[in-house]
Every structure is written in structure tokens, then in C-alpha cells.
């Protein structure tokens, strides 16, 4: 008896702490150094982009960054100036401060890249959810329409929509939303079809749970992981598309300093001053890489097979 009691004291009765999906995913995400680094870059860029919209008043962002020029302030006597304390990245052909314009352009590119994902989620998520949940002729109709949209090259459709609406911020925003929802719709449909086979969903249906409550309580929460990852990867694609359209002259138009507009302006004088293309190009590449790293980190963090 004494031996049994002694053995009982030696046994480790500690039960591993149970963590939720999102808490567990955050722990795994933090272990991915590239993903964390990408997130830091994105946060810093968003803060600077928001600050770039502030007026150039004493004590404002421009004063803190030692920027004495607004993005639109021209000084043709100081064109193609080399980097200095006053102009850390130099100036363009019109003497406008490059750093100010890159930060201001970040607000345009990031807004399009991030906000358009909500439009994509609304269109693609709704179509995929309806197709997967109702099935039958509704599923066939929606998926055949999705297949037709998928058959056309994305960039070609975007060009058609932008040409129809005219080059502007909103035309690009709407065009991207009307084109890039296809992949998300297919993903959501597949997730819903899989989740509908779960026992707890079948039990909820048998107990008379309304379709709206079933979608909100079971289908949407259990589909969020892959959807978030897909939308994260969609941000750099949207940013690149906006830059490409602006470079081609059918996107954001001057004097708005979009990154694509800056590359287009600098391309004409690339041999005179390559910095006009290099710096905004680096901004585009850095932003796309950062979101890609974050997307990779989220994919690994939200993968149920990675849970311990």
C-alpha cells in the first residue's frame, strides 16, 4: 500500500493545456521568422502610408521624417537631385521628393490591395457558400458561371473592365473585385461541401436549425482559415495588378503618385536616373514579398495537420 502511494506521488498527473485554434495558430505563426518580419514591414508601411496623408504642418509626419516637401510640391530647378538629408531618395524630373511620393503612393496601393479583398470576399464567398450549401441546380448554375469567368485570363478581364469604366481608383477597385473572386468561390464551395458532411452539422440540420443560423454558426467559422490565407495571398496580386495597369497608362493617373505611375514616369528617364524606377520598384517588391511571407505563415499556422 505504501509502495502504491509512493508511486502515485511520482506520477506526473499534469494534463497538457488545451488551447483554441486561433491561440494555437498565433503561437505557431510567431515561430515563423519570415512571417513575423513580413508582418512588421506591413504594419510599418501602413502606419507610414496613413501618416503620408497628413498635411505637411510643423510637428506633423513630414517634420518627424525631416521631409520638407509634400508629394505634389514641384521644384524644376532641383530635378533629379541626388539623395540628401532634405531628399533622402532624391527627386524626380519635376523636383518632387521621391520618398514623400513613395509613402503617399503606399496609401493608394495598400488601399486597393487590402480593401478590394472585402469585395472579393463578398462576391466569391457568397457564391461559393450558396453553391456549396444549396447544391442541386443552384450549384450547377453558379459553378458553370464561375467556370466561364475562370476561362478568361484575369488580366484581360481587368483590362476590359477598366477600359469600360475609365482609368481611376474606383474603376481598378471594381474591376479587381469583379475578376478575382473566382478562386475564392471555388475554395468556399469545397469547404462547405466538406463541412456539411461533419456529424455536428448533420445533427444541427436534424434538430431543425435554420439555414442562416447553420451558416453563421458552423459553416462560416470553420471555413475562415483557408479563406484568410487565400485573401492574404490575393493582396500582393492586387497590388501588382494596380501597378501594372498604372504603368500601362490605364490605371491611376498623374498627379496621384501611385507606385505604378512613378515607375511609368521614371521609365522615360531610366538611363538618366535609374533611381526613378528602382525605388518604387523596390517598394512594390518589398510589399509583395511581405504579404507572401505572411500568407505562408498563416497557411502553416492554420493548417490542422500542424497542430500538436
Mind listing the pLDDT tens digit for each residue in 33-56? 998 999 999 999 988 888 777 665
Stretch (H or E) spanning 302: none
Quick check: is 4 in a domain? no
Cα separation, 198 vs 22, in Å, equals 21
pLDDT of residue 271: 77
pLDDT of residue 20: 64
Quick check: is 44 in a domain? yes
Q: Span 150-155, mean pLDDT? A: 88
Q: Which of 213-217, 248-252, 292-296, 300-304 has the lowest mean pLDDT?
A: 300-304
Cell digits for 185?
468561390
Cell digits for 9?
506521488
Mind listing the pLDDT tens digit for each residue in 58-89? 444 555 554 445 677 777 778 888 888 878 88
Quick check: is 60 in a domain? no
Cell digits for 32?
515563423
Phi/psi at 91 (5° precision): -130, 165
Residue 28 · residue 304 · CB < 8 Å: no
Residue 247 · residue 284 · CB < 8 Å: no
Distance from CA of residue 87 to its chain's centroid?
30
Residue 97 · residue 67 · CB < 8 Å: yes
Domain total of the chain: 1
Mind listing the pLDDT tens digit for each residue in 104-148? 888 888 999 999 999 999 999 999 999 998 888 999 999 999 999
Q: Would you place residue 100 in the very low, low, confident or very high pLDDT band (cuts 50, 70, 90)?
A: confident
Quick check: is 183 in a domain? yes
Quick check: is 90 in a domain? no
pLDDT of residue 224: 82
Average pLDDT, the chain: 81
pLDDT of residue 61: 52
Domain with 144, as residue range(s), is: 21-54+96-306
pLDDT of residue 135: 85
Quick check: is 59 in a domain? no
Cα separation, 112 vs 173, in Å, equals 6
Cell digits for 131?
453553391
Quick check: is 39 in a domain? yes
Calculate what percentage of the chain has a pLDDT beyond 90.
Answer: 24
Decide if pLDDT at 28 tops 50: yes
pLDDT of residue 3: 52
pLDDT of residue 56: 52
Cα separation, 243 vs 35, in Å, equals 24
Most confident stretch, 85-99, 202-216, 224-238: 224-238
pLDDT of residue 304: 57
CA dihedral 153, 296, 235, 262 (to 10 degrees): -100
Q: Bridge-partner residues for 97, per DSSP?
A: 91
Contacts of 267 (CB under 8 A, 6+ apart): 247, 276, 277
Quick check: is 12 in a domain? no
Q: Would you place residue 219 in the very low, low, confident or very high pLDDT band (cuts 50, 70, 90)?
A: confident
- Domain with residue 292: its CATH number is 1.10.3720.10
Phi/psi at 193 (5° precision): -60, -35
Cα separation, 70 vs 91, in Å, equals 12
Amino acid at each position: 500500500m505504501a509502495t502504491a502511494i509512493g508511486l502515485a506521488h511520482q506520477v506526473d498527473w499534469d494534463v497538457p493545456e488545451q488551447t483554441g485554434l486561433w491561440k494555437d495558430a498565433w503561437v505557431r505563426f510567431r515561430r515563423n521568422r519570415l512571417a513575423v518580419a513580413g508582418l512588421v514591414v506591413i504594419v510599418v508601411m501602413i502606419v507610414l502610408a496613413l501618416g503620408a496623408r497628413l498635411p505637411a504642418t510643423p510637428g506633423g509626419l513630414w517634420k518627424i521624417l525631416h521631409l520638407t516637401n509634400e508629394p505634389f510640391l514641384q521644384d524644376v530647378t532641383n530635378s533629379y537631385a541626388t539623395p540628401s538629408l532634405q531628399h533622402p531618395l532624391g527627386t524626380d524630373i519635376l523636383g518632387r521628393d521621391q520618398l514623400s511620393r513613395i509613402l503617399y503612393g503606399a496609401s493608394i496601393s495598400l488601399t486597393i490591395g487590402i480593401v478590394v479583398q472585402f469585395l472579393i470576399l463578398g462576391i466569391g464567398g457568397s457564391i461559393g457558400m450558396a453553391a456549396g450549401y444549396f447544391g442541386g441546380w443552384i450549384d450547377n448554375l453558379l459553378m458553370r458561371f464561375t467556370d466561364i469567368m475562370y476561362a478568361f485570363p484575369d488580366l484581360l478581364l481587368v483590362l476590359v473592365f477598366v477600359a469600360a469604366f475609365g482609368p481611376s481608383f474606383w474603376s481598378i477597385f471594381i474591376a479587381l473585385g469583379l475578376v478575382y473572386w473566382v478562386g475564392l468561390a471555388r475554395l468556399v464551395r469545397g469547404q462547405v461541401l466538406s463541412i456539411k458532411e461533419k456529424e455536428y452539422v448533420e445533427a444541427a440540420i436534424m434538430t431543425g436549425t435554420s439555414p442562416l443560423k447553420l451558416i453563421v454558426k458552423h459553416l462560416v467559422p470553420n471555413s475562415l482559415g483557408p479563406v484568410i490565407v487565400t485573401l492574404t495571398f490575393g493582396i500582393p496580386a492586387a497590388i501588382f495588378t494596380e501597378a501594372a495597369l498604372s504603368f500601362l497608362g490605364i490605371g491611376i493617373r498623374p498627379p496621384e503618385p501611385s507606385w505604378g505611375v512613378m515607375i511609368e514616369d521614371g521609365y522615360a528617364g531610366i538611363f538618366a536616373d535609374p533611381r526613378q524606377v528602382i525605388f518604387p520598384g523596390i517598394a512594390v517588391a518589398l510589399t509583395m514579398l511581405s504579404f507572401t511571407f505572411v500568407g505562408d505563415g498563416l497557411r502553416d499556422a492554420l493548417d490542422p495537420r500542424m497542430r500538436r
